[in-house]
Structure 1
Amino acid sequence: MLIGYARTSTTEQEAGLDAQLRDLTAAGCERVFSERVSSVAPRAELEAALAFVRDGDTLVVTKLDRLARTVTKAWEVVERLEAKGVGLRILSLGGDTVDTRSATGKLILTIFAGFAQFEREMMLERQREGITKAKAEGRYKGRKPTARAKAEEARRLHAEGKTITEVAKALGIGRASVYRAIA
């Protein structure tokens, strides 16, 4: 059975997720797990896919970086798949199954995982450089302190007898922010 896994980092990447789902369905995946989460955050749908696959199945991803962004993470997933007798297919590699039981398959996966890790590190480096430049030019403001702006209202609602949770929900801020506001 072919099992698909699709991932984007943010909800703004809806078209990317749609494209992955389309490609996985076209590849013949009978079941597809998808999520919108950073590659470094806990990924519930990936865990569900890994729990779902059985001996003889193949996990299919459109690109390796959808599965893992570092060589270490890629190998953690592969080892879990191998322990269950499950193959891995990466569509961007021509749709071929990467047989990690062979030396060639291990080499190919390691090289592509290395490229994915390199690409991510270069992107983060460019992002840091851009932020540093914007700060130096006085154009970088950072995230607006929304909770601080609502501190007075949080104190008022709490004084009216609302619980911390009720205040947080009413203002759309975290409970910790409410505690800081009323302290």
Structure 2
Amino acid sequence: MLIGYARVSSISQSLDLQLEALTAAGCEKVFAEKRSGTTTDGRAALEQALEFAREGDTLIVTRLDRLARSMLDLKQIVAGLASKGVTFRCLQQGGIDTTRPDGKLLLNILASFAEFETDLRRERQRDGIDKAKAAGVYKGRPVSIDVDKIRAMRAAGDGPARIARTLGIGRASVYRHLSVPARNRE
């Protein structure tokens, strides 16, 4: 059986082109999701596709970066498939077919490029944030916990668990803010 897997990184992106290509390639079952590819954590459709695949099946993606952006993740996924007797194919990088030695070589080369691209993007993002911070434009995440309210509730006799429940925050946050002197708060 041919099993397709499609992924885009954000909700605003469309899966349509990938779904059409996978269907045209003969995939009988297609799993799709809108999640980042930088990790396999939290990718339910990928997990379902990998569990669904049986010996003799082939997992197909349109592009290698749709499956994984990290060399380690890609190798683990492909090794897991191979251990089940499942092959892997990539439509737009047609030379990737794990049943052949040259396909395995190409898989590793392209996986290296995908990881390199992710690292470069992360580096550019960090440079942009550092530049914005230096210019005073980037202030970080807005404060979401009202420390004065925590202190007032504590002074009124409420315990950390009740404060946390009332404010909808974790107890650890309550303890952390109670232990910081008022003059050291941000």
* TM-score, normalising length: structure 1: 0.77
In 1, Cα distance between equivalents of 2:29 and 2:105? 28
Deviation string, structure 1 residues 106-126 (Cα, Å, up to 9, x no partner): 111011111101111111111
For 2:16 and 2:173, the matched residues in 1 are separated by: 36
AA of the residue aligned to 2:140 = G
Distance 1:175 1:24 in 2: 47
Contact 2:8 2:15 in 1 (8 A): yes
CA distance in 1, matches of 2:8, 2:77: 18
* Paired residue secondary structure (1:5): strand
Instruction: Give the structure 2 partner of residue 103 of structure 1.
Output: 101
| Bigger radius of gyration | 2
Q: Could you tell me how far apart the structure 1 residues matched to 2:58 and 2:100 are?
A: 16
3-state SS, counterpart of residue 6 of structure 1: strand
Which residue matches 2:7? 7
1:124 to 119, 122, 125: 122
Conserved? CA contact 1:152–1:181, under 8 Å: no
Amino acid at match of 2:104: K
Match of residue 40 from structure 1: 39
Alignment of 1:1-183 (within 5 A): 1-11=1-11, 14-38=12-36, 39-42=38-41, 43-93=43-93, 96=94, 98-147=96-145, 150-151=146-147, 166-167=165-166, 176-177=172-173, 180=176
Give me the CA root mean square deviation.
3.0
Summarize the Cα distance change of 1:130–1:3 in structure 2 as closer, same or farther, 3 Å threshold: same
Counterpart amino acid of 2:107?
A: L
Task: Return the structure number with greater helix share.
Answer: 1
Shift of 1:64: 0.8
Equivalent pairs counted in the alignment come to 174
Q: TM-score, normalised by structure 2?
A: 0.75
Q: Is the contact made by 1:87 and 1:98 (CA closer than 8 Å) also made in structure 2?
A: no
Change beyond 3 A, Cα 1:122–1:100 = same
* Secondary structure in structure 2 of the residue aligned to 1:15: coil
Q: Deviations over 1:114-152 (max 9, x none)?
A: 1101111111111111111111111111111223xx455
Unaligned runs of 5+ in 2: 180-186
Identity level (%):
50
Per-residue deviation at 1:52? 0.7
CA contact (8 A) 2:58 2:86 kept: yes
Contact kept? 1:7, 1:36, Cα under 8 Å: yes
On the 8 A contact 1:167/1:178 being kept in 2, the answer is no
